[in-house]
Structures are given as structure tokens and as C-alpha cells.
Amino acid sequence: MATLANRLRLSSFSEMLNTSRHRRENFYGYLFLMPWLLGFLGLFLGPGLFSLYLSFTKYDVLSPPTWIGLDNYTKMFFDDPLFYTSLGRTFYYAGVGVPIGVIGSMFLAILLNAKLRGLAAYRTLFFMPSLVPIVASVVLWKWLLHADFGIINQWLVDLGWSDPPGWFGDRRWAIPSLIVMGLWQGLGGTRMIIFLAGLQGIPESLYEAASIDGATPLHKLRHVTIPLLTPTIFFNMVLGVIGGLQVFTAAFVATEGGPGFATTFYSLHLYRHAFDYWNMGYAATLAWLFAFVIVSLTIWQLRLSRRWVFYYGS
């Protein structure tokens, strides 16, 4: 056993080692962090705070911003009908598209997870649409869903629907058209792969136990697969909502927010104020509210998840 003096000496020695090690860790840690840190401060935090400042100003880029207090906020809440309608349409798009997309991806993954021959080919095929660039996909879908010459409407007419929808050109059908296109691109993409990874994490023993108890495939789906996939469902829901609410390119390229304002989603509304009317101050206000909405929704989903997400083994 070491004497007190020895211990002291040892500890001070190790402390010295520690501090030199500490210094080294701090130095190299920050040195290598530098590229990201610069980007974070210069392209994210700085601009984010500047945007908060801009939200209290009137600013058109060419002349300096002028402080107008809460005017942008009162305008947003009380004097901009498009604020509410665009937010509503965005919720409609994400609220319908995301759950269908997540559940659809899950079922595709469950089908692909069966131990059958030739499934790799199906997986590849399902994945392909997610590779098509959005703009190319819009060009394609505008043609598929063309009111007069689109093959889908021609089929619908053949099936006896004499007055098929005008899809992108019809106020009521424009958002469903975008949802259909989004599903085609999204169902078999990365989300499906994430579900496949989730399925592979379910212990085989649970299925064996269920079989011994005489469970049918539907029972197994209902009582083993889906409960054990709830963390994956939750993860994909959160990501899907964050992405779905920010929908821009598809709507902008397909319809420019029309017909009428039928596809003027929140991000298009924001874009118009920023880059068509050069109301940068007001656009910044819209952006900050948007961030607030998305972050609150994410936190709400996290809270809610405690009620339905099941973590196996915990």
C-alpha cells in the first residue's frame, strides 16, 4: 500500500498526464471540429439569428432593414389569409401522405421479408422510383395524369368513369396527385429499407413461440411483427413529418402552387414572399413560425410515442 506522500505524488503525476492529455484532446478535438463548427456558426446559427432579427424588420435586400417591431407577426396572424390556408394544405398533404407512406412502406417490407425466392429483384424494382430525380418524376407524372391524354385517365374512362379527375389541373385533385406521386417515389425507398432492417432485428424465437401457440400469420403480424416494429414506425413518422411539411419542389415544379392556390403549401407561400415580392422580413417571420411548428410537432410526437411505441427488452 502506497504512503500518502506516494499517492499524492502519483496523483499529481497522473494529473499532469491528464492535463497534457486533456490539452491534447481539446486541441485536436477542436481542430478537427473546425470545418463543421465554422459552417454551423456561419451558415446555420448566425443566419438563424439574423433571420430572427429580420422577422422584426421590413427588408428587401437592396436597402437596409428597418425595424417594424411585431408588425410582421400581426400581419401573419391577422392579415394574411394565405398563411392559414397554406398551413392547412401543408397539413393535409403531410397528414394524408405520411401515414399512408409509412404504413405502405412497412407492408412492402413485410412482404419482402418472407423467405421466398426472387425477392431481391422485387426489392430492386421497388427501390428504383426513389432514384428518379423529383423534377424528372414531375415531368413523368404530369404526363401520366394528363387530363386528356394521360394513360391513367384513358384507363379510367375505359373502366367506365366518364368524367375522370383533372389531377394536377383540378383544385380538388392537385394535392392527391402530388400524394400519389410522392407515394410512388417514397414507398419503396430508404424508408422501406429501414423497415427491412427493423424486421431483421425481430428475434426468430418470438415467431417460433407464436407458432407453437398456434398463431396464424395474421396473429403473428398483429401481435409480434407490428408491436416490435413500432420504434421503426415512430422513427419513420418523425422523419416523414419533418420532410413532408417542407414539401416544395414537387408542388413548385408541377403546378407552381396552382391551380388557384390549391397547392400553395407553406414553403411556397414563404418562397413567394421572399423571392417574388422581396419581403425578406416577412418571409423570415414565416420561416421562424415554421420552425416552431415543426419542432413542436416533433416534440409532441416524442411525447405521444410513450403511449404506443414498444421497446423489446426494456
Residue with C-alpha cell 490539452?
Answer: 23
* Alpha carbon separation from 60 to 54, 81, 143, 249, 267 (Å, rounded): 10, 22, 38, 24, 19
CA distance 172 to 27: 59
- Please report how close the Cβ of residue 238 comes to other proteins at its closest, in angstroms: 9
- Please report how close the Cβ of residue 3 comes to other proteins at its closest, in angstroms: 31
CA distance 124 to 290: 36
132 is a contact residue toward other proteins (CB under 8 A):
yes
84 is a contact residue toward other proteins (CB under 8 A):
no
- The neighbour count for residue 77, using CB atoms within 10 Å, is 13
Task: Single out the residue of 70, 128, 209, 304 in contact with other proteins (rule: CB under 8 A).
Answer: 128
Task: Single out the residue of 87, 224, 237, 286 in contact with other proteins (rule: CB under 8 A).
Answer: 286
124 is a contact residue toward other proteins (CB under 8 A):
yes
Sequence letter at residue 131: L
Q: Are 199 and 279 in contact (CB under 8 A)?
A: no
CA 259: distance to chain centroid? 25
| Residue 224 backbone dihedrals phi, psi, to 5 degrees | -115, -60
Strand, helix or coil at 171?
Answer: coil
CA distance 291 to 288: 5
116 is a contact residue toward other proteins (CB under 8 A):
yes
73 is a contact residue toward other proteins (CB under 8 A):
no
CA distance 178 to 195: 24
260 is a contact residue toward other proteins (CB under 8 A):
no
Task: Single out the residue of 2, 4, 5, 114 in contact with other proteins (rule: CB under 8 A).
Answer: 114
- Please report how close the Cβ of residue 301 comes to other proteins at its closest, in angstroms: 11
54 is a contact residue toward other proteins (CB under 8 A):
yes
- Please report how close the Cβ of residue 35 comes to other proteins at its closest, in angstroms: 4
- Please report how close the Cβ of residue 159 comes to other proteins at its closest, in angstroms: 14
Among positions 187-226, residues that touch other proteins (CB under 8 A) are 187-188, 190, 193-194, 197-198, 201, 217
127 is a contact residue toward other proteins (CB under 8 A):
yes
